Amino acid sequence: MSPTKYDSFPDGLKLSSEDEYGIVSRFAGTIRFPTVSAPEGFSLEPFHKMRQYSTTAWRNVFSSLDMELHGEASILLKWSGDSSLSLDPVMLAAHQDVVPAGDPARWSHDPWGGEMFNNRIWGRGTIDYKCGFAGMLEAVSLLLAAGFKPGRTVYLSFGHDEEIGGLLGAQAITESLQDRKILCSSVLDEGGYIYSDPHGAVTAEVAIAEKGYASFQLSAEAVQGHSSVPPDRTAIGVLARAIVALNESSMPLPEVPEEIKSADWLQTTFAPTILSGGCKENILPGRAEVIVNTRPSPGSSVAAVLEYILSVVEPLGVKVELLDNGSVSEPSFVSSTDTKDFRALKRSILNVVSKDTGFRCGVFPAATDSRRYSRVAKNAYRFMPVHLDQKGIGALHSVDESISTADYLRCVKFYAQYIQRTCR
């Protein structure tokens, strides 16, 4: 790869160690706001306070870009570009909310302290996903300071309820953009990382698709009776056979584009998560139930998964019902890699990672806000240049969530480069 002017950060700007300290400190400040979202309701006050903090920390961004609030605490920033180039706008998205920290005593650093220790920043949200929120604001701030003018409009979209489904934030922003007939060329969101395999190979993975989400209730009925004389067929026994059958079989893979044919997590998964049946130790229950949470693979559908489960468990005498609880989502479409935005993304990634880091496209096994934004974006790419350790994605919601200073600075550099490249 020969260097281009877009490889510098931004356009030849050099950062002193003092500048870097400022960048990291501003990010650490966002960790100190416990912006926890929860399905049973949550306080918006930490979100309002973090927004106030941000307008001071990245003053030039909030004074130069147009800001809208959606769903009370989600932020949409519009950086108007040169309209003469007639390019579609581009979106970068990060959610402001985080999952609860659990018992702080289990953390080695205060989860809400934003502590900088041992070349890492510690706390809930450092990876998921305030490095995106602060990193994007920092990148735009640096670009503004360097006099950069985008050749197309850039949207920064910061939802506030991704961890509980994104209906108040990403969904509200999406509907508002739909009303204005705004269609972005792509959205860049979380969901791809830099992974290390057990043999030491390091690979940056852009997720160009994500799986769907659907839970099903499987139930079995039998005659209620005395447990001293159990028949061959019991409700729990039938249900247990169905769970084993489902876990031992695998749904045929749908057709997917070449880039993700050998991706991890492509297969539709079936995870039994809630089991119930019986009320007393000496009564055979008349009914037993299990909730099976599934993640339909790209190219499949919720309906196809239902049909498949029925084909496996119905012959065993088990009934199946989709839990239509608002969380259901179809798998995403597979985004094109033959686009200006993808090329800008790949180039920016290869420029900020080390020489021996590989590159691949993949599938994200969980749901992100991009499933909402996909209705106002032709493509969805999921990536941040953050190294995950052997825990992989499990590190995101665990105790001791933290990010290295180098990775955070890499995020800022990456977002600045990506915006520069895709907005020319």
Residues in contact with Zn ion by the rule CB under 5 A: 128-129, 190
Closest CB 312 distance from Zn ion, rounded Å: 32
For Zn ion, the closer of residues 319 and 397 by Cβ is 397
Query: DSSP H helical segments within 32-79, as ranges?
Result: 45-57, 59-64
**Strands 214-221 vs 287-295: parallel, antiparallel or unpaired:** antiparallel
Closest CB 213 distance from Zn ion, rounded Å: 14
For Zn ion, the closer of residues 190 and 210 by Cβ is 190
The per-residue b/e assignment along 94-107, b for 16 or more CB within 10 angstroms, e otherwise, is bbbbbbebeeeeeb
For Zn ion, the closer of residues 138 and 161 by Cβ is 161
For Zn ion, the closer of residues 161 and 259 by Cβ is 161
Q: What six digits make up the tokens of 147?
A: 């006099």
Beta strands in 151-299 (DSSP E): 154-158, 184-189, 194-196, 202-210, 214-221, 225-226, 269-277, 283-284, 287-295
Residue 226's DSSP bridge partners are 283
Euclidean distance between CA atoms 276 and 289, whole angstroms: 5
Closest CB 190 distance from Zn ion, rounded Å: 5
Q: Are the CB atoms for 42 and 36 separated by under 8 Å?
A: yes
Region for residue 71 given its phi and psi (left: phi exceeds 0; alpha: psi -120 to 50; beta: otherwise): left
Closest CB 160 distance from Zn ion, rounded Å: 12
For Zn ion, the closer of residues 161 and 190 by Cβ is 190
For Zn ion, the closer of residues 144 and 207 by Cβ is 207
Closest CB 74 distance from Zn ion, rounded Å: 14
Closest CB 245 distance from Zn ion, rounded Å: 34
For Zn ion, the closer of residues 204 and 384 by Cβ is 384
Closest CB 136 distance from Zn ion, rounded Å: 14
Residue 379's DSSP bridge partners are 186
Euclidean distance between CA atoms 267 and 205, whole angstroms: 18
Give residue 218's Cα distance to chain centre.
29
